[in-house]
Structure 1
Amino acid sequence: MPDKTLVAPADLRTFAAALLEKGGLGAEHAATTADVFVWAAQRGVESHGIARVPAYLDLLAQGVANATPELRFSSGAPGAAVLDADRAPGPVALTAAAREAVTRARANGIASVGVRETVHTGAIGYYVSKIAEAGLVGIGFVAGMPNMGYTGAKGPAVATSPLAIAVPAREHAPLLLDMATATIALGRIRQAKASGTALPEGAAATADGTPTTDPEQAVLPLPLGGAKGAGMSLAFEMLTGVLVGAPILAAFHSGDPAGRKHRQNALLIAVDPAAFGGADVFVADVDTTLETLKGLPAADGTREVHYPGERSAATADERGAHGIPIAPKVWAQLADAAQEKGVALPPVR
């Protein structure tokens, strides 16, 4: 029996969409959400991949995520808009926001779309990649519920807010920087606890903010680079929730139970290279820059110099050809959900 089950991306996408539609999403929203999960799984981002389907089914069943949201755009300037997501699943809201950002950027050179009151945004690299597929530069920020330490403060103070940037190229896979402001993901802490593996120094803390390497005691990730990661997270809260009139951090720490209701905010920015001197020249220079970087002498013990997004793009190609591996635990969860919802499991390679 293989350690992991291999499923073709298209089959996995159809299966995930069917489960999500049974969970209450409309067909279009289910397909969109499934596409985000399969995109992440195909690139090797397991934490935001197909394993998220059961969790999203729970969010829908509990009413945390709105299965029938009314997405409403408002705008005070041609190059800016706010999407009131009505607690839509993040993939639904941010996919719509990315499309709006591209449309407005093509008309104005640059555009930003703030997303207010969504639920778990998923892999934000997906949305900026969609902007890059349109030939534009995509930039994204997300802020959510405080679950990370902050330099000098006790307990959960700020969110593990991610940043993603996608830059299109012609001859190379797009540059895709997708990172959190935390040193370690919460999922990595759980994995270390399950395996009994010590955590790296400075990566996690106890509930009161005391740094620890013991996974049994660790509950909080610590900011990447200490005060630098903490400051980035705070800045992203300003650029997302505060900017669109839906701050999370202040409400979370106010003592009002309503302030701890799960939600996330985001900001997507699209930049059209055509407004800065020409798209063709831009992508040519991007290729030259990436080629120059990859041509630099490799350090001892390093076979090749890579740029952000290059290896995950290669993983996507490999998994596209041979199938996406699904861990036994995740496969069992998907099988249980499929039985409960009356959905057939996808073909296995």
Structure 2
Amino acid sequence: MSDTPTKTLVPADDLRAFSAALLEKGGLSAEHARTTADVFVWAAQRGVDSHGTARVPAYLDLLAKGVANADPHLTVESTAPAAAVLDADRAPGPVALTAAADEAVRRARDTGIASVGVRRTVHTGAIGYYVSRIAEQGLVGIGFVAGMPNMGYTGVQGAAVATSPLAIAVPAREHAPLLLDMATATIALGKIRQAKASGTPLPEGAAATADGTPTTDPEQAVMPLPLGGAKGSGMSLAFELLTSVLVGAPIFASFHTGDRAHRQNALLIALDPAAFGDPTAFLAAVDDTLTTLKSLPPAEGAAGVFYPGERSAAKAAERGEKGIPVAPKVWRELTERAYMWGSMGRCHEA
């Protein structure tokens, strides 16, 4: 008989409503709470548990400490039809980037391609959500995020750049959209914490000590190393220029001169296939490309041939039917907050 704690299985709609209720109790408006919960549950449903409902307590803490603004005044500045800057006023990332994604789609409908920079937000969550939101409208979505330095840079001692992510979503006609969502780090910070808790050695070249020395010892590891060495660190630095510096809110330079206040910036881009040719033919060609890929012979031992986002889309469908498993520690944190505020959702044991 297993002593492993049982995960709690919660229907997606219930988990969304439960998370939104907690976030509203934490100070967000009902609309902003629903938006934020949507992003968390989207990630949890696709199996990205590190950015799922496990983030709710952390966001409640950000709101309680005033790091995130519970009542932000979002403003959009623009001097060109195809470009804008959204000042988030320290709104939670899901609130700011959802608004930016919708603004990018609206502008791209008129201009063919549009970009919206996001200035002064806090923790953006899974950026795959925002580019997927763009793809749902039949457009191609591209996103970059820059944040606080927490990753090594090739040739530098200690943390120098952020684990800045990149996401691209391309709509298809029959297939699930292609969704590439990746960080510039070899390993996530959460994976380092998990290895430390379990005492499991880390992969070679994945993490480093405080002075930047590579290590496989989770007790000594404090930061991830960049993906592909100089390639990953170079990408992170480029994303800082394309987001933070572009919108006049630099993080990298100010961090290394003493400003450690938490913040993030982003850039979302929407491309309308209709501006490049026949959008119907584009979707058909995307399907043909993905079908061709999947028809290639799999390598020995491979479970199959998959394109980015395919397996997470299948998991989302499965969890949409069966419910989303929530880890015991996360469920305990959520229910403790709920009992404190008198707000519980429906659930049953997996």
TM-score by length of 2: 0.98
Shift of 1:347: 2.8
RMSD: 0.9
Q: Which residue of 1 aligns with 2:331?
A: 331
Percent sequence identity over matched residues?
78
1:79 to 72, 76, 82: 82
What CA distance in whole angstroms lies between the structure 2 residues aligned with 1:27 and 1:301?
49
Shift of residue 37 of structure 1? 0.2
- Output one character per residue of 1:289-328: Cα deviation in whole Å (capped at 9) or x when no partner: 0000000011001131000000000000000000000111
User: Are 2:17 and 2:345, in contact at CA under 8 Å, matched by a contact in 1?
Assistant: no
1:180 and 2:186 correspond:
no
Q: 3-state SS of the aligned residue for 2:250?
A: coil
Alignment check: 8 A CA contact 2:173 2:283 kept: yes
For 2:139, the equivalent position in structure 1 comes to 136
Q: Which residue of 1 aligns with 2:61?
A: 58
* Superposed structure 1 runs of 4+ greater than 4 Å apart: none
Quick one: which amino acid aligns to residue 250 of structure 2?
P
Q: Between Structure 1 and Structure 2, how many residues are aligned?
A: 346
1:69 aligns with 2:72: yes
Q: Which residue of 2 aligns with 1:287?
A: 287
1:190 and 1:172 map into 2 onto residues whose CA distance is 36
Q: CA deviation at 1:183?
A: 0.2
1:153 aligned onto 2:189: no
CA distance in 1, matches of 2:50, 2:201: 20
Query: Quick check: 2:149–2:160 contact (8 Å CA) kept in 1?
Result: yes
Mapped contact 2:153–2:230 kept (Cα < 8 A): yes
Residue 83 of structure 1 aligns to a residue whose secondary structure is strand
Instruction: Please tell me whether residue 226 in structure 1 is matched to residue 229 in structure 2.
Output: yes
- Cα deviation for residue 211 of structure 1 reads 0.6
Deviations 1:92-137 (A, max 9, x none): 0000000000000000000000000000000000000000000000
Counterpart residue identity of residue 269, structure 2: I
Gap runs ≥5 in structure 2: none
1:167 matched to which residue of 2?
170
Whether the aligned pair in 1 keeps the contact of 2:88 and 2:121 (CA below 8 Å) is yes
The yes-or-no answer on 1:98 pairing with 2:91 is no
Look up the equivalent residue of 1:34 and give its one-letter code. A
Partner of 1:237: 240
State how far apart, in whole Å, the 2-side matches of 1:267 and 1:133 are: 18
Q: Give TM-score scaled by structure 1 length.
A: 0.98
Q: Which AA in structure 2 matches 1:331?
A: W
Q: Within 5 A, what are the aligned runs for 1:21-36?
A: 21-36=24-39
**Alignment of 1:266 onto 2:240:** no
Q: Secondary structure at the match of 1:51?
A: helix
Residues 189-235 of structure 1: CA deviation (Å, up to 9, x unaligned) = 00000000000010000011111000000001000000000000000
The reply on whether 1:115 has 2:118 as its aligned counterpart is yes
2:16 is paired with a residue whose SS is helix
CA contact (8 A) 2:97 2:124 kept: yes
CA distance in 1, matches of 2:79, 2:229: 37
CA displacement at 1:345 relative to structure 2? 3.3
Alpha-carbon distance in structure 2 between the residues aligned to 1:245 and 1:277: 35
**Are 2:8 and 2:347, in contact at CA under 8 Å, matched by a contact in 1?**
no
1:2 shift after superposition: 6.3
Distance 2:16 2:348 in 1: 13
Residue 215 of structure 1 aligns with an amino acid whose one-letter code is P
